Amino acid sequence: MTSSEAVAIGLTHGGSEDTGLGNRGPQSKSIVVPYGFWLFVLSDMVLFSALFASYASLVHATDSGPVTNQLFDRTNVAIETASLLLSSFVCGLAIIAAKRKNLFWTEAWLVLTGLLGLVFLVIELREFAGMIAIGAGPQRSAFLSSFFTLVGCHGAHVTAGLLWIGTMMAQIWAKGFQPHIGRRLLCLSVFWHALDIIWVAIFTIVYLIGTLP
Amino acid sequence: MFGRLTWDAIPFNQPIPLITSLVVICALGGVAAWITVNRWWPYLWREWITSTDHKRIGVMYIVLALVMLVRGFSDAIMMRAQQAVAIGSSQGYLPPEHYDQIFSAHGTIMIFFVAMPFVIGFMNFVVPLQLGVRDVAFPTMNNVSFWLSASGALLVNLSLFLGEFARTGWLAFPPLSEKAFSPGVGVDYYLVALQISGVGTILTAVNFVTTILKIRAPGMSYFRMPIFCWTALASNLIMLAAFPVLTVALAELMLDRYLGFHFFTNDGGGNSMLYMNLIWVWGHPEVYILVLPAFGIYSEIAATFSGKPLFGYRSMVFATMVICVVSYMVWLHHFFTMGAGGDVNAVFGIASMIIGIPTGVKIYNWLFTMYGGRVRFTVPIYYLVGFMLTFVVGGLTGVLLAIPPVDFVVHNSLFLVAHFHQVIIGGVVFALMAGYTYWFPKAFGFTLDERLGKIIFWCWFIGFHLAFMPLYVLGLWGATRRMQHIPDATWAPWLDVALVGAAIIGIGIVLTVVQLLYSIKTRDQRRDITGDPWDGRTLEWLTLSPPPHYNFAVLPDVHGEEAYWTRKQTAIKLDRLIDEPNYQPIEMPLNTPVGVICAFFASLCGFAVIWYIWWLAILGLVGAFAVFVWYAWRDEHEHIIPLEEVRKNARERRRIRQEHLQNLSQSV
């Protein structure tokens, strides 16, 4: 029997025929880890879509309380949006710096990413505090419950992202650019960009539509 | 200091929960003492609790499911007994507030802590073996998922002797489940337990979708994956997209209860039907999360014990994926009576009937797999045939319920109860019992006793029909579900039959324990020496039973649809084994205590939230974050299994296989 015949019937190892996807065996960690994280982000998107659905079905249930265009301020939201989108851009710069294994610029861009995220968060919390102060807190009506939950959940994600950025920076500082730390940094940037996508939807559905005359 | 937690939380004045609690505590204490006396804790800690081995985690899931099955079944038999005696002037032995907790706990436990861990346990054990690889994509996360599920189960059981459980049914519909109408801790136990185990389930879904799409043996393209892997993929895709919605529904209810929000309240503009929609957007796909892997198990069994490849493999794959997608488009049929109008109800009614079509395709595929095959009537085949008979009828009553005008008549009646038990017991539980028998030798190296297995099957089959056929009749007569007291004495004979049926199922469950103990005792008579006790067709039968930690010394090269069958037939034809490969040292993930520590903090935090002990909740969160950072800081992730060990084990396996091959060749 020739060796090619032996291969064809599976008597020797290797040389299984090309069957398209999956013929190469298990993928490397640099593919598997970000892929799994992507799936998690997708399920997070589903979570937000349920919150959007709640908001959409309760937005008019104001219980004779304040309605959307009495509460939202476009200027405020514009600053929030700008700082969050900019922080995403800076996060991209941090990834580029990390690819070049430049410790200083990686850390610097990560600090800036976190600071811009913090700016966003402070503005959001001030908005929330202002609303609660005028009696438009989440207990006021179903609309406000769903508003605070949707926007607050995004804010909670940003907070978690800030914790992650801090931990990540400490880790890069302590351990340098090891392969698994590089993968984590990539997951962090996926997370941070995903929060932007959610914010664009919040910006449109909650604030833009909500401040139409 | 301790929030709502006082001595009143212990049910001193209610004998049934008190005695049950004492028995459970004594049993747990006894088991712990037994383990201590035998000095098994280090072994348990090293080999099981901290294990990242998918096979070990799978077994732990199934043990959890079997333990919780006993709890869930106890609830069931108590309900049947109450309904059989509380007729006419008698009030029975369970007061309403206790009875309501029992039916809520029964549903919650059976779905979340029996069916889910059982199914996930099989996926854990089987999928990497069938894909011809060494582990799942994220072994540590797998361990975390398991312990989070166990944490949820712990909290549900804790409600038995600290406080109470929900009295709201297994889905805790508002406004009844709102603070105003359920002020106690019961609903909080329910919400917190499900949130914690739900996180575990989402992580499982991430893990398995990644594993199946990215980690397969060389040559294992999509259309060469065994059907069980396809169904596991479909099931995990549904989990990934459905469980976040459950998280949202429960979180919104928690916000209502804890912070006075108005999502589902009667006042403040809240809308309780929003909860119905959200919970069923998760709830209906959940049915398919459970039943699709069950279909996968039946497919493996049908092919193996008929000695034929599965009939219509590709149509099976397409049917699975169609169900996966359509399962999201039918949720409204759970509340046609909401009054969404004729058009909406018609759309969802038709969508519900459409799901019957791919399911029908599957039934024909199994029938044609058996047709013309050399069928061996083993225990799993009994379950397969029993399933087909039972499930087809259950499916038909489902199609009846999918017709909105019919549904208006039997909504929330015992007819519905009979229907969903018929598809879940006949579809899912039979598959789980079949799979338990089928894969047991792979996990432990010996088969289960066949004769007892058949008796257990008949207990389930006969018991199920006696227990639930009367409920169809009663439902058509107008009996609603969840009744603590039966007003109409003419229903008594039917309820008596149902009680007898439940008791027969109970005998089956007791015999399952007996079968396990007996099989362990007489295991030397039924050793699985070769690793292939059923003349299998998929890759899990290629390795020895139980498989080594790393499953395969070298990853198998896959040729053709039935990877192992092709290889086995080639070896028999040529009368020689595959050439000895070039063995390499193997890198495997290290064990980790992170899962069990995570679950400890999750349980602590959950318990604190239930009882309003806020300092403890904060402590739990800080602890969880500290564990996260500590874990992220470790440097060693893998250990190397040395070449000598791999080679020695592999050569031993080849020797066994060589003998097996000679026996096979002589018999051909």
What value does the mean pLDDT take over residues B388-417?
A: 94
pLDDT class for B478, splitting at 50, 70, 90?
Answer: very high
Above 50 in pLDDT, residue B572?
yes
What would the pLDDT profile of B47-100 be if each residue is shown by its tens digit? 999 999 999 999 999 999 999 999 999 999 999 999 999 998 899 999 999 999
The pLDDT assigned to A23 comes to: 60
CATH number of A28-211, picked from 3.90.1150.10, 1.20.120.80, 2.60.120.10, 3.40.50.920: 1.20.120.80
pLDDT band with cut points at 50, 70 and 90 for residue B662: confident
State pLDDT tens for residues B367-382. Answer: 999 999 999 999 999 9
Q: Which two three-digit tokens encode residue B418?
A: 């009979």
The nearest CA of chain A is from the CA of B199 a distance in Å of 11
> Tokens 């514009």, residue?
A78
Kindly report the average pLDDT of chain A as a whole number. Answer: 90
Nearest to B557 among A14, A31, A143 (CB): A14
CA B129 to chain centre: 19
- Pairwise CB contact (< 8 Å): A13 & B557: yes
Query: Does residue B268 surpass a pLDDT of 70?
Result: yes
Specify the pLDDT at position B501. 97
Closest Cα in chain B, distance from residue A43 (Å): 6
Q: What gap in Å lies between CA B445 and CA B463, rounded to an integer?
A: 31
Q: Are B501 and B467 in contact (CB under 8 A)?
A: yes
- Give A53 to chain B, closest Cα distance, Å: 9
Range B328-348 average pLDDT = 93
Chain A residues touching B248 at Cβ < 8 A = 47, 50-51, 54
Statement: residue A147 has pLDDT above 80: yes
Per-residue pLDDT tens over the stretch B117-145: 999 999 999 999 999 999 999 999 999 99
CA distance B213 to chain A (A): 8
Q: What is the pLDDT of residue B210?
A: 96
Judged by CB atoms closer than 8 Å, whether chains meet at A50 and B632 is answered as no
Cβ-based contacts of A63 with chain B (< 8 Å): 262, 267-269
- Average pLDDT score over residue span B275-297: 96
| pLDDT range class, residue A13, cuts 50, 70, 90 | low
This complex has an ipTM of 0.94
Q: In chain B, whose CA is at the least distance from the CA of A55? A: B263
pLDDT of residue B175: 94
Q: Residue B667: its pLDDT value, please? A: 67
Mean pLDDT on B294-322: 96
pLDDT at B650: 93
Q: What does the pLDDT look like over A41-88, one tens digit per residue? A: 999 999 999 999 999 999 999 999 999 989 999 999 999 999 999 999
Give B250-279 as a DSSP string: HHHHHHHHHH---SS-SSTT--HHHHHHHH
Interatomic CA distance for residues B367 and B361, integer angstroms: 10
Q: Which residues on chain B are in Cβ contact (under 8 Å) with A136?
A: none
The DSSP 8-state label assigned to residue A207 in this structure reads I
Place of tokens 């029975």: B92
pLDDT at A196: 94
The answer to whether A46 contacts B138, with C-beta atoms less than 8 Å apart, is no
Per-residue pLDDT at A191 exceeds 80: yes
In a 3-state reduction of DSSP, which class is residue B640?
strand
Counting residues of chain B whose pLDDT is more than 70, the rounded percentage is: 100
**Cβ-defined contact of B240 to A61 (cutoff 8 Å):** no
Tens digit of each residue's pLDDT (9 = 90 or more) over B420-462: 999 999 999 999 999 999 999 999 999 999 999 999 999 999 9
Cross-chain CB nearest to B269 (options A6, A44, A143): A143
Q: Which is more confidently placed, A5 or B112?
A: B112
Query: How crowded is the C-beta side of B410, counted as CA atoms within 13 Å?
Result: 24
List of residues 6+ apart from B193 with CB closer than 8 A: B108, B112, B152, B153, B155, B156, B606
Q: Where are the domains of chain A?
A: 28-211
pLDDT for residue A105 is more than 70: yes
pLDDT class of B632 with cuts at 50, 70, 90: confident
Tell me how far apart the alpha carbons of residues B637 and B591 are, in angstroms, rounded to a whole number: 9
Tell me what pLDDT residue A3 has: 46
Q: Cis omega before residue B175 (within 30°)?
A: yes
Mean pLDDT (whole number) for B559-574:
89
Q: Which residues does chain B have within 8 Å of residue A167's beta carbon, measured at their own beta carbons?
A: 629, 632
pLDDT in the model for residue A5: 46
Residues of chain B positioned with their CB less than 8 A from the CB of A47 = 244-245, 247-248
Residue B155, amino acid: L
Cis peptide before A213 (omega within 30 of 0): no
Q: Of residues B327 and A12, which shows the higher confidence score?
A: B327
Q: Is the pLDDT of residue B311 over 80?
A: yes
